[in-house]
Homo-oligomer: A and B are copies of this chain.
Amino acid sequence: MSLYLDWLKEQNMSLFTDFYELTMCASYFDNNKLDLATFDLFIRRLPENRSYLLFAGLEQVLLYLKTVKFTEEHLVYLKKQGFNQQFLDYLKDFKFTGDVWAVPEGTVAFPCEPLIRVTAPIIEAQLVETFLLNTVNLQTMIATKASHVVNAAKGKSVIEFGLRREHGIDAGLKVARNSYIAGCQGTSNVLAGFLYGIPVFGTMAHSFIMSYKREIDAFRAFARTFPNKSTILIDTYDNYEGVEKAAIVAKELEKKGFKLNGVRLDSGDLIEVSKKVRKLLDDKGLQYVKIFASGDLDEFEIEELLTNDAKIDAFGVGTKMGTSADKPFVDVIYKLCETKGEQGKFSPIMKLSEGKTTLPGRKQVYRLTDENGNYSKDVIALANEKVNGDPLLIKVMEKGEIVIDLPSIEEIRTVVAENLAKLPKKYKKLTKSEAYTVELSRELKNLIKALRKTLRKSI
């Protein structure tokens, strides 16, 4: 965490923003519009084949809000972009001073529920939009996708292997972080291991095998270096010839008092191959040698493998999870829901465009549980309304200072596990999952009705 903080500071993430945030802010400033406003960050709809969201990325949001500032170099650049000196002087002293409420990281969430609620002078609240959307989009998308993959694996280990196809350096780190939070056992990304303490895994590539004249020479060389923890890739030439050679090396290791950890399958019909390989190993008394599978896997492929009783102990999942390949974004948005008016009173704001309606006013989300403590439904209500259930949004920042202890990655992982344990099975199937109920409270509905009438007139 502190490393990430250092990095943000050095990188001056203030300019990591859409240009229009700055032009809007310049105009707010120029027109002396400095009042408080509240924005909701939420996700409009579930991506196909996801039955819930895992909210993630709050830590990076809070560290960004705490550190965002403009350097002299930035201001020189912005001056060249045509901003006037008064606004640049304002930016020179810019600091985020707002209050932030948010759902704890790792919480199961649903569309339209405010996940982060920012109340700040409108310039501050507007300027931070792009960073918040960017980091929540990536992290929630990956945590959600990885969680569905982990569900499909039904308790068998999943390792995140997608670094080579993830979208750059930051994505590589965040994919590792969020797939671990979601329940993966680890990652291939060594930098993520170093920075976040996530367990790292990996063995060998085909090139390693091919660099030796004979396959068994490659196996022996590797086992010599890692006698305690070799997992041998057996498909370079032929899975069945490969496993025979792996078995020879396993027996050689046994004589030296070591055990081969496993074999890895990376191609072919994994159902059939895994069964045959398991039998070949078992017949030689190598029941302890695990079978690890990789190669173009995702949640559907894993479900198919396990439904067909594939003999696989752990899965390496790469590109499809690490890029959320079937849907590489979530519909995360950040919408104005109230502004402080002339009389110092907050007025609720609502967008009416077809299919893009937003929920007005400052809100809270309540989660109701059944007699067993399982989640039964959520209610989105006004913040000051009295509603049954546990409020999901908690105050995380006050006047620009973080007011919670940031949870460790292990603690967030525990939040995920606890949340998912309380979400009934019918809501977490891979396909045709039942839709979880999210209602609007009576007062919120009344507010919407009232606003629809006045808004139609006042434009």
Contacts and interface: CB of A to CB of B under 8 A. Distances in A.
Counting every copy of the chain, the complex holds 2
Interface stretch (A97-105, A150-158, A346-354, A394-402): A346-354
A36 to B, nearest CB: 11
A356 interface: yes
Contact of A211 (B138, B267, B349): B349
A161 B7 CA distance: 25
A451 to B, nearest CB: 12
Contacts of A21: 202, 205
Contacts of A31: 221, 224-225
A166 B130 CA distance: 11
Nearest to A456: B237
A258 to B, nearest CB: 14
A383 interface: no
A328 interface: yes
Given A170-B171, A211-B339, A190 B15 contact: yes
Interface string A1-36: 000000100110101111111111011101101000
A81 interface: yes
Given A13-B169, A210-B351, A267-B353, A133 B7 contact: no
A403 interface: no
Contacts of A222: 23-24, 27
B23 A204 contact: yes
B194 A336 contact: no
A119 interface: no
A77 interface: yes
A323, A351, A354 pick with most chain B CB within 10 angstroms: A323
A164 B459 CA distance: 29
Interface string A124-144: 001001100111011000000
A459 to B, nearest CB: 5
A122 interface: yes
A221, A241, A267 pick with most chain B CB within 10 angstroms: A221
Contacts of A354: 267
B267 A236 contact: no
Nearest to A132: B164
A352 B210 CA distance: 11
A47 to B, nearest CB: 11
A215 B352 CA distance: 13
A301 B130 CA distance: 25
Given A11-B7, A24-B205, A27-B226, A200 B164 contact: no
13 contacts: A10-B10, A16-B169, A22-B190, A23-B204, A24-B207, A74-B194, A77-B194, A82-B226, A138-B167, A164-B332, A167-B170, A215-B459, A237-B352
Given A18-B163, A323-B328, 5 more contacts: A7-B11, A18-B188, A19-B200, A23-B202, A37-B211
